Amino acid sequence: MLHAEELRKVAGCVSKIVGATATLGTSPTVLVLPQNVSMVSMSAGGAWQLRLSPKVKGCMKTADNAVTFTNYIGEATDGRTDTYVTLSDLNTAAELDYWYVGLPCDGYNTGGYASGDFNGLYVDVVLANSATSTLSCKYWNGAWTTLSITDNTVDTSRTLYKDGTITWTAVTDAVPYTLNGINAFWLRFQVSVALDSSTTLAAVVPMTSYTPGYFSANVDYTIGLDAGVAGLEVLVASGTPTLNVAYYIADRN
């Protein structure tokens, strides 16, 4: 977050303000930040909690068991809805196809991100997968190890059919691993049946597991954001209040 003087400097670079609303609940509502957001103003009708979600460090697909990769890190983190992570025709592990997502490990063991800091992903689906297929996952802890996930992008047995979260119980034994030149906490996803030919995502946002404090109800808060933030996780202890958000878009031309 930015201090008052920094906020004044950021505000002077704002080119437009975009408003949005969301209904909150006891599970996190994930808001993907639009491109070039420099700060947000937020208020809700009940006391609410906020986690800032960092950008993924890697997002890529392989069709030859990690010999070569198609890299989608820009598309996964640019905050745009017209650039896509293309998972069309992602095949099964038997066909050597995987989808890799790298979670930040910056400052590992020195006060930065730790393995247990993450417990999910939010996926913004643009074109839905229509094939009946199940998503499963492994993580790297010195070997590829099964990670039990809850896939909330499923609709009638079709993974990546709708926007939603992919969650797990945070693990503490993941270790950083360098894959395709990128050092991260790596997740390796696979599907049980090949996805259809038009499966695309607009964003992939990590979800964090720490417990934040509460913001007061019916108070406007302005929060400065740096370029490393991909999304906002917002939740409440009870009820379903409406969250009002104003995104301040910076002029970076």
Q: Which of 29, 168, 188, 25 is nearest to 101 (CA)?
A: 188
Task: State if pTM tops 0.75.
Answer: yes
pLDDT number for residue 112: 79
pLDDT number for residue 95: 96
Which class would CATH give 4-52+212-250?
A: mainly beta
- Which tens digit of pLDDT belongs to each residue from 118-141? 999 999 999 999 999 999 999 999
**Beta-carbon neighbour count of residue 17 at 10 Å?**
12
pLDDT number for residue 107: 66
pLDDT number for residue 3: 47
Per-residue pLDDT of the chain (253 residues; tens, 9 = 90+): 444 444 444 455 666 899 999 999 999 999 999 999 999 999 999 999 999 999 999 999 999 999 999 999 999 999 998 999 999 999 999 999 999 999 999 865 556 788 899 999 999 999 999 999 999 999 999 999 999 999 999 999 999 999 999 999 999 999 999 999 999 999 999 999 999 999 999 999 999 998 888 999 999 999 999 889 999 999 998 999 999 999 999 865 5
C-alpha span between 216 and 236 (Å, rounded): 11
pLDDT number for residue 115: 86
Q: Do 55-208 and 4-52+212-250 have the same topology in CATH? A: yes
**End-to-end CA, the chain:** 23
Distances (CA, A) of 226 to 9, 12, 45, 213, 248: 13, 15, 27, 20, 12
- Which tens digit of pLDDT belongs to each residue from 86-127? 999 999 999 999 999 999 998 655 567 888 999 999 999 999
- In the chain, domain spans: 4-52+212-250, 55-208
SS3 10: helix
C-alpha span between 229 and 37 (Å, rounded): 9
Question: What CATH number has the domain spanning 55-208?
Answer: 2.60.120.260
